Chains A and B, each alone.
Chain A
Amino acid sequence: MSNKKVSRRQFLNYTLTGVGGFMAASILMPMIRFAIDPALQAKAEGDFILTSQKIDELTDVPVRVDFSYEQVDAWYKSEVSEMAWVYKEGDKIIALSPVCKHLGCTVNWEGGEHKNEYFCACHAGRYEKNGKNIAGTPPTGPLDQYEVSEKDGYLMLGKKIPNTLA
């Protein structure tokens, strides 16, 4: 060891800081872990939700499909309603989220008299039929897409994924 002597004052400083730090940590650690728990909770896998939309009634014109599911928000369970714009492209079913990529308002098919486009009333954002945002309008990306599936001829919607078409 070095020949540096630890003075009595230094020794006491180190011990008290150590013990005090240990005590403070053992008090604060559970509280901080408790507080940051929402960021560390395991993400729930998105299940497919059955809608009342018959697959063979879909055309190449987007229609509004409403659906609802039970949302568990900690101690509060509620029925949440959402909707999607759904159309057929050949055999493929495309379901787009109506949440505008600008600031989260809801877009409407052919809203505001914009033919063959989705229109967001908040800041006049516009998207093509496949969700691609039209340059020169506020949105910075294409509309999100839903995973789709079917059951007994009815449409099922899964979790939101980034747009794969635009």
Chain B
Amino acid sequence: MRKLYDWVDERLDITPIWRDIADHEVPEHVNPAHHFSAFVYCFGGLTFFITVIQILSGMFLTMYYVPDVENAWKSVYYLQNEVAFGEIVRGMHHWGASLVIVMMFLHTLRVFFTGSYKKPRELNWIVGVLIFCVMLGLGFTGYLLPWDMKALFATKVGLEIAGSVPFIGDLIKVLLAGDDTIIGAQTLTRFFAIHVFFLPAALFVLLAVHFIMIRRQGISGPL
């Protein structure tokens, strides 16, 4: 292991790369070992940790899931009941989806109450709010995918809300649902595409920006 690392490091000089990512001071006021109350600084990391679990479990779920009105529910039923650990993997994605929102909300509260959004970190707050929106979008689009009654009616309600936006509401609704009146085949494929490709892509970019900014500016000082 050591030898392999040295072999690669000798050629590519990778030590500075991971040092730059992993090796940095944790100030005393954010270290729970010094002040236990500093655990509130963990919520951002926990949000990221659960996001990683969501990405992994989601990738594996698509091995069985089909975004089609005939088969979506059946494939979910199959992967949950017939495939080994299906209940666990879907459970991770299902509960993780709620937990990621909770963690993100707690992280937002911490940033708010420590005043960390103030100058010079306003831009990072804005990116954080965008991440919040993307996460809610992921939750909304993912909710429809099992294609059961709860999913259908939740999406009906969601689309009605989208439709109530002044002036462009109807347009947004048609673009989301894929049809003027029907919530069906096209809605499901659209939501799947948004859930699995578009929003995750946006999320990766925003997270990268979020993390680069925090490394550049450092963690905000103690209260």
Contact = CB atoms under 8 A, between A and B. Distances in A.
Contacts of A30: 85, 88-89, 92
B189 interface: no
Interface string A1-42: 000000000000000000000000001101101110100100
Given A30-B92, A33-B85, A74 B56 contact: no
B84 A27 contact: no
B84 A74 contact: no
Given A31-B60, A34-B60, A76 B71 contact: yes
Contact of B84 (A28, A37, A75, A76): A37
B86 A34 contact: yes
Given A75-B74, A75-B75, A75-B77, A33 B53 contact: no
Contacts of A76: 71, 74
A31 B90 CA distance: 10
A75 B71 CA distance: 7
Q: Give the dominant DSSP class at A's interface.
A: helix
Interface string B44-69: 00000000010011001001100000
Contacts, number: 42
A31 B83 contact: no
B195 to A, nearest CB: 18
B22 to A, nearest CB: 12
B83 A37 contact: yes
Contacts of A40: 84
Interface string B76-111: 011100111110110010000000000000000000
A34 B56 contact: no
Contact of B63 (A27, A28, A35, A75): A35
B83 A28 contact: no
A54 B71 CA distance: 39
Contacts of B82: 74
Given A75-B77, A76-B71, A76-B74, 7 more contacts: A30-B85, A34-B60, A34-B84, A37-B83, A37-B84, A74-B82, A75-B75
**Ranked 5 nearest A-B pairs via Cβ:** A75-B74, A30-B85, A75-B78, A30-B88, A34-B85
